[in-house]
Amino acid sequence: MLSCFLITRRVGAPVGVLAILAASCSSPAPNGTAAEDAATRDTTELVGRAAAPKGSANSPLQIVATFREPQIVGVAVLPDGRVFGDFPRWDNNPIYPIAEVGANNTLKPYPDAAWCTWNETVRNEPQKHWICPQSVYADRAGSLWVLDPASPGLKATVPGGPKLVKIDPKTNTVVQNVAFPESVAPRKSYLNDVRVDTQKNYAYITESGEGSLVVVDLSSGKARRLLVKHPSMVGDTTLNIKADGKLLVDPTGKQGQFNADGIALSHDGQYLYWKPLTSYGLYRIKTEALRNASLSDAQLAVQIEDLGKVPACDGMILDAQNNLYLTAFEDHSIKRRTPAGKIETIVQDPRLEWPDTFAFSADGTTLYVTNSAIHKTPTWSKGIGQQDQPYHIFKMRLPK
């Protein structure tokens, strides 16, 4: 999931979620229903909004939920079918940065309202609140994990805030909280996405601020920061990677460079895959090497496998047959890389405006994906939000 800014500037404090109602702006009431809230209403009109893209009649994408605001990036699906969304605090302040998604686009704060609160009254409790969660992930044992880089507005980490939190969905309670010191999550870091090996009890995290991997021994809670600024971790600004045919250029004219982002763990847990977002390179390494604390970065580097070129993408996920799915934002599509290295397009749909993050159903037959329209946020569209449709959670049956 790319670290970037949200689409509209807000003048109120929290930003609400909208069930799509004409041109109105609503925020979720405490019970998760869409109730109008003037204090959090968006007062900035979108300039130059085009007609919202529409999917083709034969598109395999089915809409699970839609939100006008806040911007969704992550999705997780539990074995019982419950769906969760991740709404980071980038430009605005979502009421529910981690939420359970219900019927009719409703949101329920998760695991409770207290965890979703971040303001001056709780500044001394950075480990008990979502500061700027970036990833929500369901492991194969049915636990839910939330990765919080704790960098609101992407300015710098809040001291004591970066964390990886495990939640038991049966009781909706936190059962483990791994706090990352500054040696693992420096002030300029941005912990991005996570995969958990429930057999070895390890977590693997991409860090996109400086470009690195973080490996966490969940038994001890100890974490190590590896391969910092290694070429496989760093984005490339010479490639002219585009979205909607336009370069990712910030208001100062600087071309975007985004480091280690997409991550995937093979089903047998033997390989970890990753790639920088602004790159066509795909890499993997044996997890056994990452778990070996005696290996130096130089020794790890020689074990990295360069798997060749793939489309620029944000999120990645592997199925049981080791097909790698990629959210290819350059052409509004989802691609699949077979174990033999063949690249296939499994769906191309104009509504996939910056497809972002994946999740599988428990049986592995249904693929979920979000669209976050990052390229239409003010930072990457000359300071003016260009979002022309709601954010979505989609799902589709996997093709054979």
Q: How far apart are the first and last CA of the chain?
A: 27
Reference 262, options 188, 200, 337, 198; nearest CA is 337
Q: What is the mean pLDDT of residues 302-317?
A: 97
Q: What is the mean pLDDT of residues 350-375?
A: 95
pLDDT for 161? 98
pLDDT for 107? 96
Name the residue with tokens 């809670």. 221
164 pLDDT above the threshold of 50: yes
Band the pLDDT of 18: cuts 50, 70, 90: very low
Distance, in Å, from the CA atom of 16 to the CA atom of 236, rounded to the nearest integer, reads: 35
334 pLDDT above the threshold of 70: yes
Band the pLDDT of 9: cuts 50, 70, 90: very low
Q: What is the mean pLDDT of residues 359-367?
A: 96
* Residue extents of the structural domains in the chain: 14-397
| H/E segment holding residue 191 | strand 191-197
H helices of the chain, in order, are: 287-291, 297-301
User: pLDDT, tens digit, for every residue of 83-106?
Assistant: 999 999 987 789 999 999 999 999
pLDDT for 377? 81
pLDDT for 5? 32
pLDDT for 28? 32
19 pLDDT above the threshold of 80: no
Reference 259, options 237, 289, 287; nearest CA is 237
State both tokens at 46.
Answer: 């979108």
Of 17-31, 241-255, 369-383, where does mean pLDDT reach its minimum?
Answer: 17-31
8 Å CB contact between 12 and 25: no
8 Å CB contact between 71 and 90: yes
pLDDT for 10? 31
State both tokens at 298.
Answer: 């130089």
Distance, in Å, from the CA atom of 139 to the CA atom of 148, rounded to the nearest integer, reads: 17
Number of Cα atoms under 13 Å in the Cβ half of residue 234: 9
22 pLDDT above the threshold of 60: no
pLDDT for 16? 35
Tell me which architecture the domain covering 14-397 has in CATH: 6 Propeller (2.120)
> How high is the mean pLDDT of the chain?
87
Considering only residues 238 and 15, tell me which one the structure prediction assigns the higher pLDDT: 238
Give the pTM.
Answer: 0.88
- Phi, psi (rounded to 5 degrees) for 253: 95, 0
8 Å CB contact between 84 and 41: no
269 pLDDT above the threshold of 80: yes
8 Å CB contact between 315 and 358: yes
Compute the Cα dihedral for 57, 59, 61, 65 and give only its sign: negative
184 pLDDT above the threshold of 60: yes
